[in-house]
Amino acid sequence: MLAASTAVIASSVQAAVAAEAPPVLIMPLGDSITEGQGGRATYRYWLWKDLERAGQATDFVGSMTGVYEGSPAYSDFDQHHEGHWGGRADEVLAQVGGWTSAAKPQIVLLHIGTNDVLHLQTVESTVQEISSIIDTIRGSNPTVHIALAKIIPSNFHTAETQQLNAQLGSLAAQKNTASSRVLSVDQWTGFDSRTDTYDGIHPNEAGEKKMAAKWSAAVSTLVQSTPPPPTDTTPPTVTSVSPAAGATGVAGATNVTATFSEAITATSLSGSTFTLTRSGETSPVPASVTYNATTRVATLDPSADLVAGATYTAVVKGGAGGVSDVAGNPLAADRTWSFTV
C-alpha cells in the first residue's frame, strides 16, 4: 500500500509541475495534410488531446486557424497552425521566415513534400528546399527543434515518395545538432493510403490518429531538449486609436477604440484604465469597456451619445495599475488623445 500511495503522490506532483510549466510553443507546418478539410478532425486535434492527457502544457502557434473550406469536426483544441492547402516545399520556403519570426515556435512539426511529388518536382530539388526551410526556421530561433516527417503514402507516385523519404531521413541526420534537434519522424511506416485516407491522399480519422501518435512521441522526445521561452519584459503599446487624435466632426454615437501591439490581460482593462472625459469636466463619461482578444482591440462604448461641438480626451492608463500584457508588463505611460464631436 505504501508503494502504491507513493506512486500516486509522485504522479500528482508530476501533474502539478506540468500544470505550472509554461506551455511549449509548437507549430504544425506543412500542406493540406496539416491544415485538414472541413468536417475533418485533423491530426492536430488528436495530437492536442494526446498531449493534454500526458499533462504537457502546449500552445499551437501559426498564422492559420481552423481548416480548409468549413469548420473542423471538433473545436475543443488550439486550432492555430501553419498548414497551407496545396503548398509545395518551395512555397513554404518563401514564407516560413515570416511565419516563424512572428510565432516564435520552440518545436516545429514539418510534414511537407506530398504536393512536390504529385507535381513531379525532382526529389533533389525538394530535399534542397526542405533543407533551406530548416535553415530559415533556425534563423528565427537558433535553438528551435524540428520533427521532420517521412511523409505519409498516397495512392500516387509511390516510388518517388519512397525516394524522397529515404533522403529526408538522411537530411534529418545531417541537420541534427545538440542545440537544435532535427528528429526524423517516420509517418510512412504503418500508414496505408487505402484504409487510412479518405481520398488516397488526406488522412481519415484512423490516419489522423496514427499521425498524431507519432507526432506525440516526437514532441515527448524534443520537449526534454527544449529551453523555456524567454521572459517577456517588453511593455505593450497602443498601435492605433479611433477616432484619430485631432479628429473633428466625429459622430456622437461613435465608440472609442485602442488597438494594442500584443495580447492584453482583459481584467486590466476597465472603466478606470480606459476613460473618456469631456473638456471642462473632471469625471469620465459613463461607458462600458470591452476587449476582443483576437483583434487586440479595446472598445469604450459611451452610455449616451457624445455632445455635438464638445471636445473629448481619451486615456489608456499606463504604469502601475494600468493596462498590462499577459506577462504582466504595463504600458510604459498613459496614451492620451483628443477629438471633437
79-83 contacts at long range (C-beta below 8 A, 24 or more positions apart): 79/44, 81/27, 81/28, 81/29, 81/34, 81/35, 81/44, 82/27, 82/28, 82/29, 82/30, 82/34, 83/28, 83/29, 83/30, 83/31, 83/32, 83/33, 83/34, 83/35, 83/36
Q: What letters, b where the CB count within 10 A reaches 16 and e where it falls short, cover 133-145? A: bbebbbebbeebb
Judge contact between 62 and 103, C-beta under 8 A. Answer: yes
As beta bridge partners, residue 257 has: 242, 299
Residues 243 and 314: their CA atoms lie apart, in Å, by 10
User: What's the CATH code of the domain at 253?
Assistant: 2.60.40.1220
Whether 67 and 166 share a structural domain = yes
133 domain-assigned: yes
pLDDT at residue number 326: 84
- pTM over 0.95? The answer is no
The total number of residues written for the chain in this structure: 341
User: What's the CATH code of the domain at 149?
Assistant: 3.40.50.1110
As beta bridge partners, residue 108 has: 27, 146
> Which of 173, 199, 223 is the last residue in one of the domains?
223
Q: What letters, b where the CB count within 10 A reaches 16 and e where it falls short, cover 2-14? A: eeeeeeeeeeeee
> Which of 223, 248, 274 is the last residue in one of the domains?
223
Whether 210 and 109 share a structural domain = yes
Residues 48 and 26: their CA atoms lie apart, in Å, by 10
62 domain-assigned: yes
Whether 31 and 81 share a structural domain = yes
Judge contact between 102 and 64, C-beta under 8 A. Answer: no
53 domain-assigned: yes
pLDDT at residue number 257: 98
Whether 67 and 165 share a structural domain = yes
Whether 183 and 219 share a structural domain = yes
User: By residue range, what is the domain housing residue 275?
Assistant: 238-340
pLDDT at residue number 232: 80
Strand order in the sheet with 335-340: 274-278, 311-316, 335-340
pLDDT at residue number 233: 87
Whether 284 and 148 share a structural domain = no
Positive/negative CA dihedral, 287, 289, 290, 291: positive
Whether 204 and 249 share a structural domain = no
Whether 200 and 295 share a structural domain = no
DSSP per residue, 155-219: SS-HHHHHHHHHHHHHHHHHH--SSS-EEEEE-STT--TTTSBSSSSSB-HHHHHHHHHHHHHHH
61 domain-assigned: yes
Q: How many domains does the chain have?
A: 2
CA distances from 90 to 132, 189, 221, 340 (A): 9, 25, 28, 52
Q: What letters, b where the CB count within 10 A reaches 16 and e where it falls short, cover 181-211? A: bbbbbebbeebebeebbeeebbbebebbbbb
Strand, coil or helix: 67: coil
Whether 253 and 327 share a structural domain = yes
- pLDDT tens per residue across all 341 residues of the chain: 333 333 333 344 344 334 456 899 999 999 999 999 999 999 999 999 999 999 999 999 999 999 999 999 999 999 999 999 999 999 999 999 999 999 999 999 999 999 999 999 999 999 999 999 999 999 989 999 999 999 999 999 999 999 999 999 999 999 999 999 999 999 999 999 999 999 999 999 999 999 999 999 999 999 987 766 667 889 999 999 999 999 999 999 999 999 999 989 999 999 999 999 999 999 999 999 999 988 899 999 999 999 999 999 999 999 999 999 988 999 999 999 999 99
Cβ contacts of 40 within 8 Å, gap of 6 or more: 67, 72, 73, 198, 202, 204, 205, 208
Whether 271 and 167 share a structural domain = no
Whether 307 and 166 share a structural domain = no
Nearest to 335 by CA among 247, 246, 265, 238: 238
261 domain-assigned: yes
pLDDT at residue number 5: 37
Whether 182 and 259 share a structural domain = no
15 domain-assigned: no
> Which of 223, 255, 285 is the last residue in one of the domains?
223
pLDDT at residue number 230: 65
pLDDT at residue number 228: 62
2 domain-assigned: no
160 domain-assigned: yes
pLDDT at residue number 99: 96
